[in-house]
Structure 1
Amino acid sequence: MNSIYDIQQLLKRYGTFIYTGDRLGDLNLMEMEIDELYQMKFIKIQEYQVAKLLLVREKNRIARQKGANNA
């Protein structure tokens, strides 16, 4: 798993399609779904950790962009 797209593909395997038009909102929903899949033991800890890391990185990237645009 190397990208947010890969996380979307993982979620699709379990019947979850997320697209609200709000990137940050989508990332938060993906994170909640990943948490739930892990808690129910559908995904391995390695998949869970990588997905969480990618989601945090993307959220931070968006936050930096918004900060730069407001400056």
Structure 2
Amino acid sequence: MDRERHARIRYELSLRGLTFAEIARRAEVSVSSVSAVSLGKSRSARIELILAQALATRPEVLFPDRYTANGGDGT
């Protein structure tokens, strides 16, 4: 689990007036699903993408440990 990244994501979302609840609504999933992805407990390319878009970045930047150096997903 990466609690530091999780806290940073929550903080960056809050600066933009967003919450995990809003991300969950956009992704049509539960808040706990968004939290689990943010913490690194589970993976969802769709939730990673929605989080990254909300933070004006790319999933491979937000979750570098989940993606290979050539840009593909690390699974």
TM-score scaled by structure 1?
0.39
Structure of greater relative contact order (alpha carbons < 8 Å, 6+ residues apart): 1
Q: Which structure is higher in helix share?
A: 1
Higher-Rg member (1/2)? 1
TM-score scaled by structure 2?
0.38
